């Protein structure tokens, strides 16, 4: 179990990195800072964990399965609201006040026949990450007024957008190769989008 302080600057992220024993690298650029950790994302107990999900309302494999096995609320909220799923929207789900799972609805199909390739909708991924970035005033400011929809749920799985303010200042964690497993996305494209939309984030590379 790990606890992290608020990350409001590149310096904060560097200071946190200095307290970790599992740092792989830290990348500091003008537009973003990314800390790479050799850490199972399921050990995170404070922050925002992002995951890509499909628009079909099907969840049963890969990282999504690992997450909902540990946090059943994630699947129950997702499947019970499958008729409301839209590409480019997000589903923030509070596990507790300090830990949230955010479903990024940007996988346009599921590969039942195993013949489809790259089912990740990159424009939808951008829209999702822009919404995530706007939760925190130290991240990029976007002047977007078109079709941005926030979908949030309380611990009983009921729609509640009043909870969104609790996401402020929580660090963002993404799993390495997010969107490139079952969705078969291109990691180089995903990584480029992450760097353009999130100012400070932590990438977890699961230990072998």
pLDDT tens-digit readout, 26-44: 999 988 999 999 999 999 9
Q: H-type helices in 117-204, by residue range?
A: 122-133, 187-197
CB 98 within 8 A of CB 106: no
96, β-bridge pairs: 99
Q: Domains along the chain?
A: 45-169+177-197 (3.40.220.10)
CB 166 within 8 A of CB 43: no
Residues 6 or more apart whose Cβ sits within 8 Å of residue 33: 10, 13, 14, 26, 27, 199, 200, 201
% of the chain at pLDDT higher than 90: 45
What pLDDT, on a 0 to 100 scale, did the predictor assign at position 207? 84
Longest dimension (CA), the chain: 47
* C-beta neighbour count of 138 within 10 angstroms: 15
Whether 169 shows a pLDDT value over 80: the answer reads: no
φ and ψ of 116, to 5 deg? -90, 150
Mean pLDDT of the chain: 82
What tens digit of pLDDT does each residue of 112-147 get? 656 667 889 999 999 999 888 876 543 333 333 323
Burial of 140 (0-12, 13-18, 19+ CB in 10 A): middle
What pLDDT, on a 0 to 100 scale, did the predictor assign at position 82? 85
What pLDDT, on a 0 to 100 scale, did the predictor assign at position 114? 65
What pLDDT, on a 0 to 100 scale, did the predictor assign at position 123? 94
CB 35 within 8 A of CB 15: no
Q: How many CA atoms lie within 13 A of 208 on its CB side?
A: 0
Whether 4 shows a pLDDT value over 80: the answer reads: no
Residue whose entry in the numeric block shows the structure tokens 């199972």: 40
Distance (Å, whole) CA 149 – CA 132: 11
């Amino acid at each position: 179990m790990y606890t992290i302080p608020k990350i409001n600057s590149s310096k904060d992220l560097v200071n946190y990195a200095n307290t970790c024993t599992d740092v792989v690298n830290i990348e500091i650029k003008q537009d973003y800072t990314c800390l790479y950790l050799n850490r199972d994302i399921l050990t995170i107990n404070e922050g925002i964990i992002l995951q890509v999900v499909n628009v079909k309302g099907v969840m049963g494999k890969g990282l999504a399965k690992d997450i909902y096995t540990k946090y059943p609320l994630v699947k129950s909220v997702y499947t019970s609201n499958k008729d409301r799923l839209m590409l480019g929207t997000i589903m923030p789900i509070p596990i507790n006040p300090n830990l949230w799972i955010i479903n990024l609805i940007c996988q346009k199909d599921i590969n039942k026949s195993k013949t489809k390739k790259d089912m990740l909708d990159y424009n939808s991924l951008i829209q999702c990450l822009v919404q995530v970035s706007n939760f925190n005033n130290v991240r990029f400011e976007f002047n977007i007024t078109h079709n941005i929809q926030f979908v949030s749920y309380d611990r009983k799985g009921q729609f509640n957008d009043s909870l969104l303010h609790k996401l402020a200042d929580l660090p963002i964690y993404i799993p390495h190769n997010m969107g490139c497993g079952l969705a078969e996305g291109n990691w180089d494209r995903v990584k480029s989008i992450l760097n353009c939309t999130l100012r400070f984030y932590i990438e977890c590379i699961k230990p072998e």
